[in-house]
Structure 1
Amino acid sequence: MKKVVFIIFLNICALQILSAQFISKNDHPIFGFDTKISGADFNYHFPIPNISNSILVRGNKHLHTMEFLTKPVPLTFNDKTALFVFPFAIGSNAIPIHVDFYVNDVLMFRFDTKDNPKWKLLNPNGSELGFENIAYDGNRDMKGFLYLKLPTKFITNGKPIKIKLVAQDVDSQTWVILYKDEIKNEIKARLLPGIIESKGVEKQTVFIDVYHFAAPEKAVIKVDGKVVSKIELKLGFNQLSITVDRVLNQKEIFIEVEKSSGILSQKLTLFPTREWFVNFVQHSHTDIGYTKPQTEILAEHIRYIDYALDFCDLTDNYPEAAKFRWTCEAAWAVEEYLLTRPKSQVDRLIHRIKEGRIEVTAMMFNFDEIPDENILAASLSPLKTFKNYNIPATVAMQNDVNGIGWCFADYFPDLGVKYVNMGTHGHRALICFDLPTVFRWQSPSGKEMIAYRAEHYNKGNFVGIETDNFENFEVKLLDYLSSLEQNGYPHSITQLQFSGYLIDNSPPSIQACENVRKWNEKYKFPKIKLALSSDFFEYFEKNYYDSLQIIKGAWPDWWTDGFGAAPREVMVTRFAQSDIMAHSSALALTKILGSTLPKGTNSRIDEVLKAILFYGEHTTGYSESVRDSECKQTLEQRALKESYAWEGYRRGKTIGETTYGLLQDYFPKSSEFASIVVTNTLAWTKSGVVKVYMDNEILSQNALFTIFDNHGITVKAQIAETRAEGAYWLLWIDSIPAFSAKQLYIKILDKNKPSIKQNPITSQDFYIAENQWYIIKIDLNHGTITQLYDKESNLNLIDSTSNYQLGEFIGERLAERSSLESKRMGSHERFPLDTISFIGIRYGDIYDVLEFKGKTKLGTQNDKTNFSVEIKIYKTSKLIELRFMINKNINTQPESFYIAMPFLLANGNIYCEVPGGVMQAGVDQIKGSANDWNTAQSFVSIKSEHSQIVVSSNETPLWHFGNINMGRYKAGALPETTHLYSWPMNNYWV
């Protein structure tokens, strides 16, 4: 049998026909899909409206098969062959794979995914399989129709055909998609809001979409019984237009499409339309990387300003509305331009800014929520440069990212930045508001900006403003404006952003100037123009300010989950942010005390801030980082992105040494004792653990010693980690006043302390720990906490009804990451650790720690253990610390893990620190902003009227509140419980 199949494949390949005829006038096509048997549901765009629901197959073991039934063959069917037609897409812009095509469980065809827009395969049994591309998408993937022709011996009237597709398993993301939405014979007509004046008569256009699922045929179009047009209908989607007098009062018309196979009709109600005004704002969306290496991108965005100046010159003689205009999305590129270009070019730029042809905006980059308030404040430094050149910046433009730090609503108003434009992107994310919305956005302190939740930052490209296909641009823009009216958009003016080309990091172009000129010559309305972003905001400020909705809420971002694929770099970035804040405050203290900072200190601080800002910029790597994880671009961009985090961390440590060097002059040295100086750079009294490295020369690991302060009060200490030449020590420091310091002294009592026998825990399932604050029950078989009894409140803080225990590991794998692109979870599995063992307990003066080691399938598999847990029970404060470590292998298959914290606090609410304030989850945020997961700065808390649980993670910022919410995507959803789930790591972002 294998030999026969091989021969069939040879015949199929030999008989591939590139110029193919798929449907004739005598065919009666049958729609190819009716009932799914198996396969991954998906949602993806198609060139024909209202077709998106689909089944996805990829070239890997997780998603390589789909199976379904066709529509039944009609009972009266009597053709010699049956033609089944499937809307179909092929991911041709990827490494090709082959796909096997089965009919009623018999392998009949094998096709490949190469970029071949028209092909046909013939089987010796008389069956045929063909594909015809009707449109390439922006990724140059093909979308069209798959045709299956079967002789009557393979069909039974009244019965469906079973189809199965099996993709080659080569661990590839290459795909094919079969669409499930049926094409029915129908018409859909609509009046478009374009008004043309000819010889004093105003006309409007009615577009008629004809969905034709039959062989090609001629048709006649009638309106109110009169023939107005003729058309040759092709299989699928057909469109034509007719003109009517401008509609000033509501009326009805009756439209008919007469064809030999029947009559299609629609009664259309015509309503008066608005007189629209549309502002088109050209910019280049700034990704530092993603489309090209960072080394190229940074230089290009500076050069684009040169292009913009030249395009201004080239269009000076155009009508005012059609003159080239340019909005600089990222302030960084403008600042670099001002600092590096010749004076003549800088003067040209300033002239065009004053003229209103080029606009500078206030966001340094597009930022996720990784940077904290201090770092985001540092991102405003270009505004100082702009001020030196008398360049205004009234608009902040955040594009692509679907949220923004709440602190900006506090920062910007004081700097003259009155408006914020959010060109949000709904990929794997919800978008706030159902429609583009202008509102007054309030900060926690009550400051305000006018905010615009715009369409996607390439919406102008989506309607074709930058293309030379003017007719297509007309239809798409008018359709879009019509949809705004129908969906309740309240205004007659809108703003659409676009780039010179439909790609991120796009250079500018001037084709839009031609289209705007041509449009305004043809249409009385809508009036369109090339504009600056501030034009739109100024209009609303002048005409609608008092009536704009006021929203006081955070705008958390969905896309920060992408940083879960870089947990080490996120960790050191968070460390660097804390370090530079503390060191800067301590340097200020030395200045107050009279120190002179070493030359270049401020510049070195700026370098730290710059590195952190470059890491906090919203891109995390190359666009093909998953699809082609080992390619040159992926490896280079990943390395460069990671380098920003480590550079900021490294440079920050040297700033710390500068600080310590200056501070030591203000504390007396003792000839008798080594001393340690601990500084509190916060604005409140602080107690806590300090980690300090001491050589054996200062404090031997085996010494008997005491550490005390100036008042003789003893400081508790214990070893955290040892090395051959020294150790990292933990010190518990009590009550250092705000912006102050405490000097500690080390007294050696005996160089060799006597060994202390520690009582091991005997074999048992649970361990009970008790101190003045808690009674804690620890499951030694699972490395988790099953009871956390708070003596002060008389409450068990753990929900005993939860499926998980405190500190429990929850692994997760998805069958397909693209299910999240359809805003659903899809097939997945969740699992515990494979093994976990109790290692022992170490006692200390600050805390006792229980140690566990285990193994998970998500970690390295060559190690005996790859996961460790430490439960630290503090003796110095009402504090419990959980520490987890995983040895992780590199993997592009979608996976993640959570750490469960099923807290129970009656009538409690969950709060989260975001950049700019504290947000009650689901309440103090704009509806539609991120709520399946959130990004915490310093802490998360659960608070009721009388109690509060505060959880802090200095390394990992991502959390799920109330439940594991993956795939929920419900705007305004509140946490279901008071459970918390830390989300240390995931690679779901593409």
Structure 2
Amino acid sequence: MQALNKKWKIAVLHHSHTDIGYTARQEKIERYHIDFIRQAVEICELVENGSKPEWQGFKWVCENFWPVERFLAKSDSVLIEKFEAAVRRGDIELTANYLNMTDLINQPVLQKNTEKSFAYAAKLGIQMRSAMIADINGMSWGYAQTLVDTGVEHLFSCLHPQHGMFPLGRKQIPFWWEMPDGKKLLVWNGDLYHLGNNLGLVPRALDSYMLQDEFQISAIMDNHLEIAETRVFRYLSQLEMDGHPYDFVPMMVSGLITDNAPPSGHIVSFIRTWNERYGDQVELEMMTLGEFFDHVQRQPQEIPVYRGDWPDWWSDGVGSTAAATKLFREAQRQLEQVRRLDPKGIHTDAERMKEAEYQLTLFAEHTWGYSSSVKEPWNSLVQTLGSRKEMSATRAHQIIYDTLDEVLAAKGEAQLAVDLPFRYAIINPYDHAIEDMFKLHFDYWEQSLFTRDFEIVEEESGEVLPHQLLTIARGTMICVVAKLKPKEERKLFIRFLTTVTGQTISSVQLRGTDGVSDIATNFGQEGTRNPAEIRFDGTSIESAGVKIAWEAGKGITSWIAKETGMNLIQEDTFSGAFTPVYEVSPVASKEKMVESRVSMGRNRKGPHVKRSVGNLTGVREVTNGALFASYEFDYEVQGISYYSVLITLYTGMPRADVQVRMHKDSIWQPENVYIGLPFQASQGEVSEDLWLEKTGAMIRAWKDQLPGTNTDYFCIQEGAVATDGGYGVTIAIPDTPLIQLGSLDFKKRLLAGDTALRHETKTMYAWVLNNYWETNFKATVGGFYEFDYHIGWDSEYADPRQAMAWCHRVNAGSIGIRLQA
């Protein structure tokens, strides 16, 4: 036993880590957690009635509110009454965090989830002060702001350092986390959530996950106390050598060595035995989070203050289920559209909306599949749990779109009927004015009516709007551009013309009868060309506001904004805009599939990773009209059998819409797919910020971050904005939330606060696919995908909030409906 320099107190915090779908079926996990609360109530009752005096001092921390909510829904009144009595006594503690979430969840849904726990605490007449996160490696600044705004005072973090890392460069210390609005949250930057089990504080639940020593460990051992003595004293001795400023430390414990573990009264018995033998040197005490934080705040040491985002190292699972993630994000976005269109809920079913929010929450929860997903991807349970996870996104999507249909029907949207009039409504659901392209649909059996000329007329003013046709799978879209005031709705109709407009060859069109446009566009008399025309010459696309050029092989390397003459694409990047980058880390045999991934650490790839950058093989014009023109770029790249980029430019707006389409090969080896987004708002020495939105908070990547946090990638909400103070480029990203920054090379990772970041370029990629995790990511990401992006460039986007509002709007899409009458 190692000698210690001071007497220590260990705060034992007893909980069950909630992982929905990692260790068993999701509905089985729900049953487990309901029963865990029942067991905790039973233990408290045995202590109260004197049946188990040796368990006196038992405390149970409800890690999340979700198990409590499920317990209340599935238990009888007698059991609920006993539970609530234990909560009021302080034997069982409620906490505010609904589940351990990824940054996929948006702020409105998060706030509603957090409010549930506070509403229940208020019903019981108790004050809820604390929240905790376990396993996940951080939470966004906006997430924390929402907790604080709802009433949370303390946050306990017991993250998992596999493929992640503790912030601040050390653990087991507190800090004040200052929010974007200046409010503060007291955080304990803790250790692994099974640390107490590792050190031997839990009888029949011992392991060596975090420790390497002389003991050959199994969960149940006769010399349990001897192992605990050795490990606890070693751990505390190391804290002393590390200059730990306190004489106490918290340790989380679970009743068994597993996620989703039951409570155990035997821990209290062990604490009594320990204190009788070692209590004069190291005292153990079971506490709630509230009691622990009260102890922290009684200490004389000054607690440091830090400000900024805490990117989660474990948010990358979303890239292993890209199709379902896209579905989730669309559903979550359209839920907000429903709220805007029907703010009083007149045409929405409140219970169905709650169910949709619940399903969104289950999908955004941090568990990304069964524990052996990579080891045995053919396993029925692996397949089942993966399908159940994705079903939550599908179910939410279905409910929300069904509700959206109800709301639009109330606004007059037509159902299928014979002889429908060609009358439409375009709607601005926002509190600010918008200019957008609206798409008005007619069906394929009506196309013969449109062989004659027609106009799009605004009913009230009689204004004729320019239009352009766009063919889709089951019909045609008539595209019009319009400006709408806040909350404005305008009615449009189609007026067919009796005259037929003939066409002949333009006297100023520099194109041969072979159809090839290969004459320089600046030749000839000035002013003879339509200034709104978008021109394509095989090497570039040019409109009145922008010129986009590319290099054979490398792809799009030039995006010149004519307003400034600046190239909006960074120089010296190995990937052009929207060029695919594919990585695979070779594995010698299927037996090494798991082992090879474990050793990747925080690089998300192996040291011998093979990288392939897309080779641009051809560009063609798809359509060109009065409002927009579209061009398809074809690429060849390893691991992807088909990859194309469709770029649409507009004649009157500084905007491009991009659709990336691919057929990804099915590969078991660890791999990544990135899409180049090397946009910039400045050149030369001008300082530039890259703004990201995370759960409602705006952050500057590499600047607004806690020290020692992840700088490689971020899980964002709606987009990214590059600004230099006077100009901005905004990238709306509806489908693929992971943004990778900087070098893709395998190397030592740079954390926030590292001075070496000053010499790094924030080259941006959309990290769209990955399967590198060794346990519960999908083992293959093969299949067909389509991912959308929207690019805007203008001086008005120098305001990052205004630019992000644009991202929200274009991602949600414009609203144009055909009317019944």
> TM-score per shorter chain, which class?
0.7 to 0.9
Q: Are residue 805 (structure 1) and residue 576 (structure 2) matched?
A: yes
Residue 120 of structure 2: SS of its match in structure 1?
Answer: helix
Alpha-carbon shift at residue 191 of structure 1 (Å): 3.5
Match of 2:761 in 1: 977
Match of 1:945 in 2: 725
5+ residue gaps, structure 2, are 205-223, 519-535, 587-595, 775-821
Q: Are residue 776 (structure 1) and residue 524 (structure 2) matched?
A: no
Q: How many Å separate the matches in 2 of 1:618 and 1:689?
A: 37
Gap change, CA 1:447 and 1:717, over 3 Å in 2: farther
Gap change, CA 1:691 and 1:396, over 3 Å in 2: farther
Match of 1:616 in 2: 364
CA contact (8 A) 1:409 1:448 kept: no
Alpha-carbon shift at residue 692 of structure 1 (Å): 5.0
Alpha-carbon shift at residue 467 of structure 1 (Å): 2.5
Q: 2:42 aligns with which of 310, 325, 334?
A: 310
Gap change, CA 1:978 and 1:279, over 3 Å in 2: closer
Q: Are residue 471 (structure 1) and residue 221 (structure 2) matched?
A: no
Alpha-carbon shift at residue 648 of structure 1 (Å): 0.9
Letter in 1 for 2:706: I
Residue 540 of structure 2: SS of its match in structure 1?
Answer: strand
Q: 1:503 aligns with which of 258, 261, 270?
A: 258
Residue 887 of structure 1: SS of its match in structure 2?
Answer: strand
Q: How many Å separate the matches in 1 of 2:165 and 2:274?
A: 34
5+ residue gaps, structure 1, are 1-189, 194-272, 861-865
Question: Which whole-Å deviations, capped at 9, do the CAs of 1:43-68 have from their partners, x for residues lacking one?
Answer: xxxxxxxxxxxxxxxxxxxxxxxxxx
Question: Which whole-Å deviations, capped at 9, do the CAs of 1:790-812 have from their partners, x for residues lacking one?
Answer: 22222122233332322222111
Any residues of structure 2 matched to 1:209-220 within 5 Å, and which? none
Match of 1:416 in 2: 151
Alpha-carbon shift at residue 307 of structure 1 (Å): 0.7
Letter in 2 for 1:851: E
Letter in 1 for 2:317: G
CA contact (8 A) 1:279 1:496 kept: yes
Question: Which whole-Å deviations, capped at 9, do the CAs of 1:333-367 have from their partners, x for residues lacking one?
Answer: 10122233111111111111111111111111100
Q: 1:350 aligns with which of 67, 78, 84?
A: 84
Alpha-carbon shift at residue 839 of structure 1 (Å): 4.0
Q: Are residue 910 (structure 1) and residue 690 (structure 2) matched?
A: yes
Greater C-alpha radius of gyration: 1
Q: 2:437 aligns with which of 677, 686, 689?
A: 689
Match of 2:808 in 1: none
Q: 2:566 aligns with which of 795, 812, 829?
A: 795
Gap change, CA 1:313 and 1:899, over 3 Å in 2: same
Letter in 2 for 1:932: D
Q: 1:833 aligns with which of 601, 604, 614?
A: 614
Gap change, CA 1:628 and 1:721, over 3 Å in 2: farther
Match of 1:360 in 2: 94
Q: Are residue 844 (structure 1) and residue 578 (structure 2) matched?
A: no
Q: How many Å separate the matches in 1 of 2:104 and 2:432?
A: 25
Q: How many Å separate the matches in 1 of 2:637 and 2:133?
A: 40
Alpha-carbon shift at residue 869 of structure 1 (Å): 1.4
Q: How many Å separate the matches in 1 of 2:495 and 2:183?
A: 54
Q: How many Å separate the matches in 2 of 1:304 and 1:444?
A: 37
Residue 817 of structure 1: SS of its match in structure 2?
Answer: helix
Q: 1:551 aligns with which of 306, 309, 316?
A: 306
Q: How many Å separate the matches in 2 of 1:501 and 1:409?
A: 30
Higher RCO (CA 8 Å, separation ≥ 6 residues): 2
Q: Are residue 723 (structure 1) and residue 473 (structure 2) matched?
A: yes
Question: Which whole-Å deviations, capped at 9, do the CAs of 1:207-266 have from their partners, x for residues lacking one?
Answer: xxxxxxxxxxxxxxxxxxxxxxxxxxxxxxxxxxxxxxxxxxxxxxxxxxxxxxxxxxxx
Match of 1:256 in 2: none
CA contact (8 A) 2:160 2:193 kept: yes
Q: How many Å separate the matches in 2 of 1:567 and 1:606?
A: 25
Question: Which whole-Å deviations, capped at 9, do the CAs of 1:726-761 have from their partners, x for residues lacking one?
Answer: 234544332x23333333333333699879999755
Match of 1:277 in 2: 9
Alpha-carbon shift at residue 391 of structure 1 (Å): 4.7
Match of 1:230 in 2: none
Any residues of structure 2 matched to 1:384-533 within 5 Å, and which? 384-433=119-168, 434-468=170-204, 469-523=224-278, 524-533=280-289
CA contact (8 A) 1:908 1:978 kept: no
Residue 718 of structure 2: SS of its match in structure 1?
Answer: coil
Q: How many Å separate the matches in 2 of 1:801 and 1:408?
A: 36
Gap change, CA 1:332 and 1:936, over 3 Å in 2: same
Q: 2:392 aligns with which of 635, 638, 644?
A: 644
Question: Which whole-Å deviations, capped at 9, do the CAs of 1:488-513 have from their partners, x for residues lacking one?
Answer: 22111221111111111111222211
Gap change, CA 1:785 and 1:626, over 3 Å in 2: same
* TM-score scaled by length of structure 1: 0.67
Match of 1:84 in 2: none
Gap change, CA 1:794 and 1:466, over 3 Å in 2: same
Question: Which whole-Å deviations, capped at 9, do the CAs of 1:701-725 have from their partners, x for residues lacking one?
Answer: 656332233334444444444234x
Q: Percent identity?
A: 24
Q: How many Å separate the matches in 2 of 1:388 and 1:903?
A: 51
Q: 1:335 aligns with which of 69, 75, 83?
A: 69
Q: How many Å separate the matches in 2 of 1:858 and 1:570?
A: 21
Question: Which whole-Å deviations, capped at 9, do the CAs of 1:383-403 have from their partners, x for residues lacking one?
Answer: 223433435432111111111
Residue 288 of structure 1: SS of its match in structure 2?
Answer: coil
Any residues of structure 2 matched to 1:583-982 within 5 Å, and which? 583-588=338-343, 591=344, 597-598=346-347, 601-664=349-412, 674-696=422-444, 702=451, 704-709=453-458, 710-724=460-474, 726-734=475-483, 736-749=484-497, 760-761=515-516, 766-779=538-551, 781-782=552-553, 784-815=555-586, 816-821=596-601, 823=603, 825-833=606-614, 836-860=617-641, 866-904=642-680, 905-906=682-683, 907-964=687-744, 968-972=748-752, 973=754, 974=757, 976-982=760-766
CA contact (8 A) 1:960 1:981 kept: yes
Match of 2:28 in 1: 296
Q: How many Å separate the matches in 2 of 1:477 and 1:885?
A: 55
Match of 1:257 in 2: none
Q: How many Å separate the matches in 1 of 2:42 and 2:410?
A: 52
Letter in 2 for 1:917: A
Alpha-carbon shift at residue 857 of structure 1 (Å): 3.4
Alpha-carbon shift at residue 447 of structure 1 (Å): 2.1
Question: Which whole-Å deviations, capped at 9, do the CAs of 1:556-593 have from their partners, x for residues lacking one?
Answer: 111111110111111111111110001112111xx4xx
CA contact (8 A) 1:689 1:731 kept: yes
Alpha-carbon shift at residue 627 of structure 1 (Å): 0.7
Letter in 2 for 1:850: Y
Q: How many Å separate the matches in 2 of 1:964 and 1:751?
A: 60
Gap change, CA 1:329 and 1:717, over 3 Å in 2: farther
Alpha-carbon shift at residue 449 of structure 1 (Å): 1.6
Gap change, CA 1:298 and 1:672, over 3 Å in 2: closer
Q: How many Å separate the matches in 2 of 1:753 and 1:381?
A: 62
Alpha-carbon shift at residue 965 of structure 1 (Å): 5.9
Alpha-carbon shift at residue 772 of structure 1 (Å): 2.4
Q: How many Å separate the matches in 2 of 1:965 and 1:356?
A: 51
Residue 3 of structure 2: SS of its match in structure 1?
Answer: strand
Residue 880 of structure 1: SS of its match in structure 2?
Answer: strand
CA contact (8 A) 2:633 2:646 kept: yes
Q: How many Å separate the matches in 1 of 2:549 and 2:11?
A: 64
Alpha-carbon shift at residue 697 of structure 1 (Å): 6.7
| Greater share of residues in helix | 2
Question: Which whole-Å deviations, capped at 9, do the CAs of 1:758-808 have from their partners, x for residues lacking one?
Answer: 9755589942322222122234x4483221112222212223333232222
* TM-score scaled by length of structure 2: 0.80
Letter in 1 for 2:704: D
Q: How many Å separate the matches in 2 of 1:394 and 1:756?
A: 76
Q: Are residue 286 (structure 1) and residue 36 (structure 2) matched?
A: no
Gap change, CA 1:308 and 1:612, over 3 Å in 2: same
| Greater share of residues in strand | 1
